[in-house]
Chain A
Amino acid sequence: MLHEFASLVTYQWFALASGSRLAAAVEFFVYDTIKIFLLLSVIIFAVSVIRSYFPPERTKKILSHKREFIGNILAALLGIVTPFCSCSAVPLFIGFVEAGVPLGVTFSFLISSPMINEVAVVLLWGLFGWKIAAIYLGTGLLVAVIAGFIIGRLKLEKWVEEYVYKIRLGEGQEIAKQVFRDRLQYAKENTVDILKRVWLYIFVAIGIGGVIHGYVPQDFLLKYAGPQNPFAVPIAVALGVPLYSNAAGVIPIVYALMEKGLSTGTVLAFMMAVTALSLPEVIILKKVLKVPLLAVFVGIMTVTIIAVGYLFNAIL
């Protein structure tokens, strides 16, 4: 049905000649744009309804009695559905530690939360198919579980700022109980909020896709970052870290890189480096972590992300 609508717009409304380059581009643009916005609306809405059941206070409670490993897996999963703004990272961290959530489990949560993003999942799905989206989701979870587990094993509690352990929380106040209609309302507001923030990036991504598709030569980037360069993955990660962006902002770049024929693993690694290893996040965490622990965190993340990149270049 979407295909028919795209053809209708292209050939009837714009009256473009069938078979021309422009017509193909317009049809592609209309089809992809509608498909992605539909997917986004439905999936963000659904994720938001799930999110309304997992405010940070509840997440903290769920994780407080969990052992390592199972705890890491659960934390990584909850990281996807627990809503929080990046400036809440410090209160969240303190709250988790206070509640007795193991350090490694806390990290699994803090890693998966920015890295696995429902907007990114939708865009990857819409632009490259569900397999790539599933791989992104799966590897994101894997990185969060493994990196958190290693940090937990290293017993680095002494490198958490002392004041974190001294803070005693107030009872904490729960916001009044929600009925299902409140959850739907929350989901609606959240969907509109996110769409408002990302729509431009999406148009840019789809636009870039169209232009590159037709006009830019293939070999420029391939020469430096193509499959035959064994250092492509670490280079992509090194470039990704200082680039601060959310998942939506990175999509146009990812789209361009994929279109240019870069290997999937290289692009995934780049994307994870941008979203999960951002400088502002590290600066925020500096308030609760001493430098050695920060360094370990960044180091382990870098190594795991690079490993994921190589892994996918090898199997895809």
Chain B
Amino acid sequence: MEIKVLGPGCANCHTMEQLTLAAVKELGIEARIEKISDIQEIMKYTMSTPGLVINGKLKHSGKPLPSLEKVKDLIKAEA
């Protein structure tokens, strides 16, 4: 599974990355997590950061941030 966290580098994007790491760890899933801060790359998916892309599909974008449970659900749905 490939997960991308999209964010130019603000606090919300950082939180999103931590949430994703925690979710993957709790689920015990093999996943490659990548933090994307390149604007052009981010904009292939969305204009509102932070964004969460799982297997090439945009699953979340913008605020408010999803809860840990929500992130786990999103990941499970793609697993």
Contacts and interface: CB of A to CB of B under 8 A. Distances in A.
B39 A87 contact: no
Contact of A87 (B12, B46, B64, B65): B12
B43 A167 contact: yes
Contacts, number: 83
A184 B63 CA distance: 15
Given A169-B43, A173-B57, A91 B63 contact: no
B45 A173 contact: yes
Given A85-B12, A95-B43, A175 B63 contact: no
A57 interface: yes
Interface in B56-76: 57-65
Contact of A91 (B8, B60, B64): B8
A12 interface: no
Interface in B25-79: 39-40, 42-50, 57-65
B40 A56 contact: no
A186 B62 CA distance: 11
Contact of B43 (A86, A170, A174): A170
A172 B63 CA distance: 18
Contacts of A56: 47-48, 62
Contacts of B46: 57, 91, 172-173
Contact of A88 (B48, B59, B64, B65): B48
A84 B43 contact: no
Contacts of B13: 87
B10 A91 contact: no
Given A85-B12, A175-B58, A175-B61, A55 B48 contact: yes
A285 B11 CA distance: 17
B44 to A, nearest CB: 3
B42 A91 contact: yes
Nearest to A89: B8
B3 to A, nearest CB: 15
A219 interface: no
Nearest to B11: A87
B47 A60 contact: yes
B8 A83 contact: no
Contacts of A83: 48, 62-63
Contacts of A189: 64
A87 B49 contact: yes
Contacts of B44: 169-170, 172
A245 interface: no
Interface string A161-190: 000000101101111000000000010011
Given A57-B46, A173-B46, A175-B59, A86 B10 contact: yes
Nearest to B57: A173
17 contacts: A56-B48, A83-B62, A83-B63, A85-B48, A87-B8, A87-B10, A88-B62, A91-B47, A91-B49, A94-B47, A167-B43, A169-B43, A172-B44, A172-B45, A173-B57, A175-B61, A190-B64
Q: Across the A-B interface, give the 7 residue pairs with the lowest CB-CB distance, nearest first.
A: A87-B10, A170-B44, A173-B58, A193-B64, A95-B47, A56-B47, A91-B47
Interface of B: 7-10, 12-13, 39-40, 42-50, 57-65
Interface of A: 55-57, 60, 83-88, 90-92, 94-95, 167, 169-170, 172-175, 186, 189-190, 193, 287
